[in-house]
Each structure stands twice: as C-alpha cells, then as structure tokens.
Amino acid sequence: MPPQSHKQRCLLIGLTFVGIILFFLAFYTCSGTSCFGITSKVPRPIYIFSNSDLDKTQNFNFEDEDVLVYLHIQKTGGSTFGRHLVHDLDFNPPCECFSGRKQCHCRTKNNRVWLFSRHSVGWKCGLHADWTELHNCVDEWFQEHDVKSRTHRRYHYITFVRNPQDRFLSEWGHVRRGATWKAARLYCNDREASLEEAQSSFQQDDKNAG
C-alpha cells in the first residue's frame, strides 16, 4: 500500500472516532450536578388523565377504621410532601411535633394512629419501603402500637410520583454525591432477599442515606 494511502486511511479512521465522541458529547453533557444537551429536547411521553380519573371523592373516617399509609419513593419530592402531611393538613387534632425531632405524633381524639409515614412513625418497614414491604409489615406494626380497641383497619396507600427520567437523573446525582441507601432492604414473601438474589451495586460507605 502506498504511504500516502496509508496516511489517508489513518486520518479517516481518526476523524471517525473524533466524530463519534463529539456526537455523544453533544447528545448528552453533564457539568457538576447539571445535565444538558439534545436529550432535554426529546419529547417525553405524557399521560392524559380523563375527568373520571381526576373527579373522585374519597371519604376518610380516621376516628373509625381508616389509616393513611404514605409510600415514599425516593427523589420524587417525597420528603417535602411528607412534611406537609404532618404540618399542614387541616386535621383536628393536628399532628404533635417536637423541636429537634424529625417525627410527629399523629393521633385522633380517640388516640388512634391515622398516619403511617416516615415523618410520623419513622422507617418502620425499612428505608424507602415499597408497596410489598409496607403490605407485609404495616398491619403488624399497628397491632403492636395502636390502641387495642381498634381491631380492624382500612389502609389507604398514597404516594408521590415524578417523571421517571427526572427521577432517575436525580437519584443518579444523589448517588454521585455519596448516597447509597445502604440501609434499604429488599423484602418479599415474608423474608429478606439473599445476597445471591440481590447483589450490592456499590462498594462504599453510606454518607447520605434517605
């Protein structure tokens, strides 16, 4: 092969690699905790709720059987929403909160617990417990800590959701800053998953759980 052709081929290959790298840099670029690029302009799927989905009325009788169970999905604004539940609801009596403590006592006039959440009872079912974990442990917790006169309860699960792409990027940034949620568990069928079933994806100390 003539030397000139060899140089041209090497130059072409080099330019191709540079072009690929520039393409990906233009497609998605992160600087610090901010990400920008073409992905910010990609149309996201939007679910349109019908009037029948939104126009619903649900009556709660907290003095009787009804209990509100908050499923807190991480990086959805859930901590802010959870604080609103204990501080800002027009409820009589309101939750009793204490200076310097993260948990509030949320009980009815009959001393019945009406809210099960991180800010009312703590992480009693595990850190950011999912529906399966809550379903397995909530009733057992109430049987032990609620008034004995309350033998039946009706649980109403609520949660706060976020665009999945934004939520994933927020969690990725949180982990990048050092969080691991190491205290979280995977609990199903009345047992914790083994290390073989759910292997750890990190090898560092938990610096910012929650």
Decide if 105 is catalytic. Answer: no
Q: Are 119 and 82 in contact (CB under 8 A)?
A: yes
160: Cβ contacts below 8 Å, ≥ 6 apart: 72, 73, 76, 77, 78, 81
CA 16 to CA 95: how far, in whole Å? 63
Structure tokens at 53: 């989905």
Burial class (CB in 10 A: 0-12, 13-18, 19+), 139: middle
Catalytic residue, from 84, 128, 145, 174: name it: 128
Structure tokens at 173: 């940034």
Annotated catalytic residues are: 128
